[in-house]
Structure 1
Amino acid sequence: MDCSFFFSLLYFFLLSVGMSAALVADDRRTYIIHMDKSAMPSLFPDHHSWYMSTLSSLSSLNGVLPTHLYTYNHVLDGFSAVLCRSQLDQLEKMSGHVATYPETFGKLQTTHTPKFLGLEPNVGLWPEANFGDDMIIGVVDTGIWPESESFRDDEMPPVPERWRGTCESGVEFNSSNCNRKLIGARSFSKGMKEAGLNISKTDDYDSPRDYDGHGTHTSSTAAGSPVQDASYFNYAKGTAIGMAPKARLAMYKVLFFNYTYEAAATDTIAAMDQAIADGVDIMSLSLGFFETPFEQNPIAVAAFTAMEKGIIVVCAAGNGGPHGFTILNGAPWITTVGAGTIDRDYAAEVTLGDIGDLTVSGKSIYPLDLLVSRVPIYFGYGNRSKEICDDYSLDPKDVAGKYVFCDSGVNTFETDRAGAAGAIFSTDDSIFLQPGDFNNPYVAVIPEVGNSIKDYLIKAKNTTVSIKFQLTVLGTKPAPIVVWFSSRGPDRKSPWILKPDILAPGVNILAAYAPNRGIAPIGDDYDYLLSDFALLSGTSMACPHVAGISALLKAVHRDWSPAAIRSALMTTAYVIDNVNGTIIDMTTGIAGTPLDYGSGHIDPIKAIDPGLVYDLEAQDYINYLCGMNYTNQQIKIITKRSNFSCDQASLDLNYPSFMILLNNTNTTSYIFKRVLTSVVNSSSVYRAVVNAPSGMKVVVEPPAIAFDGKYSTAKFSMTVEVDAGVGNVRIQSDSIVNYGYLSWNEVKGKHVVRSPVVAAFAPYPRA
């Protein structure tokens, strides 16, 4: 329901029932309620259910019911709600209530993804990890703009003594461009030059300097220093800050402008090889090569060595979605990241009529603070041979200098052709629009709002429109959503492992940019405005979020392997969005699946303390390669070993997710054998909890496992039987058939170790 319509109804309701109901409405306030989780009655399956039941038990006053806003699982135990005073009095007397705080307001102080991920300056992962201090993140990308404020080294301690890298000189770049934040910068272009690229003729820099802005953006996302009052033309205004703001950065440039921004495999391997030698702790690669057998994939080969050295390699899943089998970087020793939205959007406020008869809001990312006040608006209703805003439906004599309302979707070509001053589009597709779509002053409204505008314009002839641009909206719902372009699994070359591993913010992310590179298109001729910060989207943006979070986890758990850190991220991820439904797929508008979002959306606060991990060593991956029927030669290329054994060949890798490939028979059965490792100091007991849909039978043995203390291990087996004729069956070659979850729940403890169990049709590749 449109907010203005709701409040209009509320206004007339208050007039009809008198002042007593008005006083009830005036008495309603938003509160944050802290609860004692240990007081939750055992009949509730989870704390959210308990909170909702508590709210529903409160009496209404003149028909006014409590309104639930959010359930908090991380930064505090409790929830927020809108309550009347009498309802609050009832709540405060209930068992389990700890404290209540009224809503407060302050100035926006962040560009929001840290807040969306639960990162707080005074509690949790940030202070415990000392904001990533002493961690070194190597970014393999398009270079870096060292003068950006995101790379200031204010109050940074000296460069770690273990650092072995350097800051090389080149075109428009020298060693003085590095500091205690940007501690290394190198450029790798020999392969591209051999392929015929003349870097100087492309206007790119034959040096680590960033010509495109992409590498600057990803670097600052991972570990940028805080920058106050950052924005994209006043959108998303706040303090821009990286995931690990005290971590060090090293740039390895391998991408140069050649109209497609391709990287040579030779350059990429050289860059990763150098990063290993320099001493990075994390590698972030927002690029990928076409999926080939692993020994032919430069990132997969180099990442294996990095893994053996204890380096965490995080890669973008690719932007080939929404179709299946589009995953890039699917090697199991790589953490593969898909992209989702956050609960922030950008808007304009539209007022119709000279005295503000109707005010609505819609999506807009038009970069100029344009004064639109009482400009004539055109809507050609009545008898028409074609929809308004269809190609060549507008007469320039009717619309020149006016705003146009289009009730049949987005057609910027037609409004531009006809010389309109701007346009308001009624569309279901506003969620897909990006900053570059707003080269002129457009506003996109959802059809429900569009119908209100249409009704008004039919009745009010010769009316005007006023528009206020550059608005940022927080708390949008639902969020996160799997964005349409994010590549989906299964991986064509390694379908026995569920990919992507995890979802992270990757839509309209604000971060540093090359200030001499045009970012905001303006006008019909697409001139470009410049900015120090940009809103960019892609799995490229999701990848450095996970790289930065991995740096924080590594700072806290120095002895954890890359597999342990990936496991912590995966088994603590969430699949429920901020409207308490399964994370949806932007393309279909319905619940997604683990082939879309992997184990779920990253949750840094929980990942710091996962309880148990599925750990892996190099030999485990070798056993997997053997199980894939890789030849000795192929394995030698990947592992750099000649004295390995395939006696333990197995496709059942000790991974934090479970994948069953269905065959053409009606029933498929598979037995998984896994090992869990405790990462807490005390002894513990866990019980298996299976959430399996119809058509999937899951049996876990033993159903309970015990651990003596930190680094003690326990084995279990899980038998999964899938009936392809029952349940969520879609017999397309690229469709998931069924999925459920296995959780290990700590007895008398807080830890829940959750893994998706997925059954899908997939090709059976051979190396």
Structure 2
Amino acid sequence: METSSFSSMLLFQLLMLLPAFIAASTQPKMSQTYIIHMDHSSKPDHFSDHESWHQHTVNSVSLTCREDKEPFLYSYTHVMHGFSAKLTPCQLTEVEKSPAHVATYKESFGKLFTTHSPDFLGLKRSSGIWPTASYGKDVIIGIIDTGIWPESESFSDKGMSKVPARWKGKCENGTAFIPSLCNKKLIGARSFSKGLQAAGINISTEYDFDSARDFMGHGTHTSSTAAGSYVFGASHFGYAKGSARGIAPSAHVAMYKVLWSSDTFASAATDILAGMDQAISDGVDIMSISLGLAQTPYYEDVIAIASLSAIEKGIVVVCAAGNEGPSTSSIYNGAPWIMTVGAGTIDRSYLATLELGNGLKFEGTSYFPQRVSISNTLLYFGRDDPKKSGCVSLSRTEVMEKVVVCDTTNLTDLYGQMEVVSNAGAYGAIFLTESLFLDPEDYSIPGILLPTRYGNEIMEYAWRNTSIVKSMQFVSTKTGSGPAPEVAYFSSRGPDPISPHILKPDILAPGVDVLAAVRPDVPFMEAGGYDLLTDYALYSGTSMAAPHVAGVAALVKAVHRDWSPAAIRSAIMTTATKGDNKLGTIHDQWNGLTATPLGFGAGHINPNGAMDPGLIYDLDTQDYIQFLCDLGYNETQMGAVIRRSQWGCHNNHTDLNYPSFIAGFNQTTSLSEKQFTRTLTNVGAPGSTYWASLEIPSGMIVSVEPNTIKFASKYQKHKFVLSIKLDKNAPKVNYGYLKWIDDHNHTVSSPIVVTNY
């Protein structure tokens, strides 16, 4: 009886499941999305356009396969002739029976490749400083530069907050610029040229605009780097393709044009001063300056003078360090109230691939802006003549329509070699080089840069009469490359020539191959005999690094509205990273050797860390006045810098409360020890205790007193003294770190640099 009941129950369950089994066996497979490439010449004449033909094709197969759903998605007329649709296997089969069918591409999904420095800096939508700072909402960044291209998508105000009520600026009317071009993103645009014109330098009416409109793209690039809105699908001729956006994409931008096109690019100090003055008056929060004047004492440096005035108003001033590296003491904008920025590389490379006729394959650097594929092309190498082998001089009859191998090992003008090869009519070039660089706009013909370690095997093969390039392919971007960051070869180095006892630069930030908006209506470059235009381009320079830091300063300002400029700089410096993405120390791009803080300052900028530094080294105007007093400036010189008739100086020398240390020793002095007094302010939790940790190499003896500090309350201050002794056999430049560490995951790090010349 029990057995019979069990069998009846099992039969009942099977009968209940049977309809589901039957349905599952008879239901067609799930539909999928496909891209269907069609022969556009096969369109019947009775269709008015290709889209109507594509839609009819899909509707017809739907009827044949008895499908009621509307699967049609898009019709394509430019990327290809065809359409996309979500099709069942039956529908796909019917489409592919059509004589007009060319190819089928199954739908694929790719991950987002950004443009790319925000990712390299660790900025994320869901965590860290971006969401905490609301992406820089309500912060105003003033850019002192060459103007702006207001129509760029990077300055769209979609999703922007309203203009802050405190804003006093405006958009001026001028040549090809009307006030209505401004919006909630671009809230101010002014130009300053009276000083230039008074000096008898005429502004070029052929290339420039008598307005805030950008004549060369530089100001547009820096502005969009600092605070550009999201732009999808931006790229440099296919390189670095992804979503472009600024470091503080919700911040507002104001442009102050002070650099103009004349016989050369020119900017008068009076105009720079006027632009900075107006920016202060208008109410900017951050000032980003990617230009510099001659290295002069502060009382002759209008950027330093105007910057101190801005600092007094609570404005953070960020300046490019200059592009005169790798020479030492080449720093510009090194006043201690300015945040001075060096340029570093990022973990993204632009590549071409090369395969020779003997099967050897190589991957090298290239920015050639076209997806050409060179195949089965003769190879040329002038081995017996140094001028030919180095591509200093080439015979057109010998290299015409060939790929030329250029051994540039002992040469210093790679751009010149590219010009020689191009003018000789070569089809492409292979440059064997170790430390030379070409800018993206220099690739007038297909060219690839390869390390000299590949030289022997390439040159030996190229010398044969039958040698060929089997394949050269371009427009490839790789992220995650490294080591990165490295100090860019061109980035100016310390010690600062005006104040060598202040470590400069302060910080390293992305400044190599930064993709951002540019002027779109003039050729960026010439390649293959064609002028090429672009909306976005790769630029390099400390000009590109400075707006990265300006953007980070805007984010920190948005989180900590009451912090002083010195506090924001301290937070950025003391939380900087000291290593690269390969877990090594930061190196120098120029020679591949380990870099020093004379190139990278406190380290590479770390936006998320700067949001919560734990401790800060703060400063106010009186501290800077005392600093100038200690330089021995007379009353006239002091008055020129601080713009007042009365001030107070202490008789005793006092250290500037800077977040870094540099001590200079030399063989002509008997001084063997230097001391620095600093004051820490707690911006973390009350009751925090910090312990001093010293990371010091041989050749330096460093001590800290006290080495433990307890802060009973927030904003409490404590002093400490750091002492440095030098070993006679120490290297010319040596460095270590002082780190204040608590039990709340704060590490407050300062570089200690010793020079021994």
Q: Shared fold by TM > 0.5?
A: yes
CA deviations over 1:428-487 (Å, ceiling 9, x no partner): 135x22213311111111233444544655689343432211111111111111112111
Residue 147 of structure 1 aligns with which residue? 151
Q: 2:546 is matched with which residue: 532, 543, 546?
A: 543
1:758 aligns with 2:725: no
Alignment match of 1:156 (pick from 145, 160, 165): 160
Deviates more, 1:129-138 or 1:509-518: 509-518
Displacement after TM superposition at 1:106 (Å): 3.9
> Which AA in structure 2 matches 1:426?
L
Is the partner of 2:266 in helix, strand or coil?
coil
Shift of 1:752: 0.8
Aligned to 2:58: none
C-alpha contact (below 8 Å) 1:256/1:262 kept by paired residues: yes
Task: Please give the secondary structure, in 1, of the residue aligned with 2:141.
Answer: strand
Is the 1:136–1:249 Cα contact (8 Å) retained in structure 2? yes
TM-score (norm 1): 0.81
Match status 1:479 vs 2:484: yes
**Aligned equivalent of 2:311, options 279, 282, 307:** 307
Residues 382 and 389 in structure 2, CA contact (< 8 A), matched pair in contact too:
no
Q: Structure 1 residue 668: deviation in Å?
A: 2.8
Is residue 367–residue 520 contact of structure 1 (8 Å, CA) maintained in 2?
A: no
Q: CA deviation at 1:262?
A: 2.4
Q: Per-residue deviation at 1:228?
A: 0.6
Is the 8 Å Cα contact of residues 730 and 756 (structure 2) preserved in structure 1? no
**Which residue of 340, 348, 351 corresponds with 1:336?**
340
Residue 348 of structure 1 corresponds to 352
Matches of 2:524 and 2:341, distance apart in 1:
25
CA distance in 2, matches of 1:459, 1:336: 53
Q: State the alpha-carbon separation in 1 of the partners of residues 469 and 274 from structure 2.
A: 61
Partner deviation per Cα, 1:512-558 (whole Å, 9 max, x = no partner): 0001232223258xx64211111111110000000001000000011
Aligned counterparts of 1:281 and 1:329: Cα–Cα separation in 2:
19
> Paired residue for 1:745?
741
Given that 2:428 and 2:447 are in contact with CA atoms closer than 8 Å, whether structure 1 keeps it comes out as yes
Look up the equivalent residue of 1:402 and give its one-letter code.
K
Q: 1:426 to 1:390 in 2, by over 3 A?
A: closer
1:378 matched to 2:373? The reply is no
**Distance in 2 between the 1:260 and 1:158 partners?**
39
2:396, 2:173 → 1: CA distance?
A: 55
Question: Pick from 710, 714, 724: which aligns with 2:718?
Answer: 714
User: Equivalents in 1 of 2:393, 2:271: separation in Å?
Assistant: 52
Mapping 1:115-264, distance limit 5 Å: 115-201=119-205, 203-264=207-268
1:447 aligned onto 2:442: no
**Partner letter of residue 372 of structure 1?**
I
Aligned partner of 2:94 in structure 1 is none
The within-5 A match list for 1:257-296 is 257-296=261-300
**Equivalent pair of 1:388/1:408 in contact (CA under 8 Å):** no
Question: 1 CA distance for matches of 2:337 and 2:534?
Answer: 37
Q: Report if the CA contact (8 A) 2:365-2:450 is conserved.
A: yes
Distance 2:306 2:253 in 1: 19
Q: Deviations over 1:335-365 (max 9, x none)?
A: 0001111111111122233xx9333211110
Counterpart selection for 1:647 from 650, 657, 678: 650
- 2:42 — aligned with what? none
2:493 to 485, 488, 492: 488
Name the structure 1 match of 2:435.
Answer: 429
Alpha-carbon deviation of 1:657? Answer: 0.5
Residue 603 of structure 2 is matched in structure 1 by 600
Root mean square deviation of aligned Cα: 2.1
Q: Is the CA contact (8 Å cut-off) linking 1:563 and 1:614 kept in structure 2? A: yes
**Rounded Cα–Cα distance in structure 2 between residues aligned with 1:415 and 1:268:** 41
Match of 2:91 in 1: none
Query: 2:579 is paired with a residue of what secondary structure?
Result: coil
Distance change in 2, residues 1:176/1:581 (3 Å)? same
Cα gap change, 1:752 to 1:376, in 2 (>3 Å) = same
Query: Hey, what's the Cα distance between the residues in 2 that align with 1:567 and 1:275?
Result: 24
Which letter does structure 1 place at the counterpart of 2:737?
A: Y
Preserved CA contact (<8 Å) 1:624 1:649: no
The equivalences for 1:99-110 within 5 A come to 106-110=110-114
Find the residue that maps to 1:515 and give its secondary structure. Answer: coil
Which structure 1 segments of 5+ residues have no match?
A: 1-103, 730-735, 763-767
One-letter code aligned to 2:504: K
Aligned-residue sequence identity (percent) comes to 53
Question: What are the equivalent positions in structure 2 for 1:60-99 lying under 5 Å apart?
Answer: none
Q: Per-residue displacement from partner, 1:647-692 (whole Å, max 9, x unpaired)? A: 2553510000012122423653111111000111332111111122
Given the superposition, is the C-alpha separation of residues 212 and 380 from structure 1 closer, same or farther in structure 2, using an over 3 Å criterion?
A: closer
Tell me, in whole angstroms, the C-alpha distance in 2 between the residues paired with 1:443 and 1:201: 38
Paired letter, 2:740: W
Alignment-mate amino acid for residue 521 of structure 2: N
Distance 1:221 1:591 in 2: 28
Q: Is the 8 A contact 1:338 1:542 kept in 2?
A: yes
Q: Quick one: structure 1 residues 200 and 596, their matched pair in 2 at CA, closer, same or farther if it must change by over 3 Å?
A: closer
Name the count of aligned residue pairs: 643
Aligned match for 2:365, one of 363, 366, 376: 363
Q: Distance in 2 between matches of 1:386 and 1:207?
A: 51
Q: In the TM superposition, what are the counterparts of 1:49-60 in structure 2 within 5 Å?
A: none
- Do the aligned partners of residues 341 and 401 (structure 1) sit closer, same or farther apart at CA in structure 2, a change above 3 Å counting? same
Q: Is the 8 A contact 1:349 1:362 kept in 2?
A: yes
Counterpart-to-counterpart distance in 2, 1:132 and 1:576 = 27
8 Å Cα contact 2:672-2:726 kept in structure 1? yes
Cα 1:105/1:566, change in 2 over 3 Å: farther
Structure-2 change in CA distance of 1:219 and 1:385 (3 Å): closer
What is the alpha-carbon distance in structure 1 between the residues aligned to residue 601 and residue 444 of structure 2? 35
SS at match of 1:199: coil
Structure with higher Rg: it is: 2
CA contact (8 A) 2:204 2:263 kept: no
Q: Measured at CA, do residues 395 and 257 of structure 1 come closer, stay the same or move farther in structure 2, by a change above 3 Å?
A: closer
Deviates most, 145-154 or 292-301: 292-301
Alignment deviations for residues 126-175 of structure 1 (CA, whole Å, 9 cap, x no partner)? 11100000000000000000000000001112111111110110000010
Query: Following the alignment from structure 2 to structure 1, what is the Cα–Cα distance between the partners of residues 252 and 235?
Result: 23
Task: Indicate which of 517, 523, 537 corresponds to 1:518.
Answer: 523
Find the counterpart in structure 2 of residue 506 from structure 1: 511
Alpha-carbon spacing, 1:385–1:521, altered in 2? closer, same or farther (3 Å)? closer
State the one-letter code of the partner of 2:418. Answer: T
Aligned position for 2:396 = 396
- State the alpha-carbon separation in 2 of the partners of residues 122 and 452 from structure 1: 50
Match among 550, 553, 558 for residue 555 of structure 1: 558
Equivalences for 1:694-709 in 2 at 5 Å? 694-709=698-713
Return the offset for 1:641.
2.8
TM-score, normalised to structure 2's length?
0.82
Match for 2:607: what amino acid?
P
The Cα shift of 1:213 comes to 0.5
1:588 paired to 2:583 = no
2-structure distance, mates of 1:475, 1:242? 20
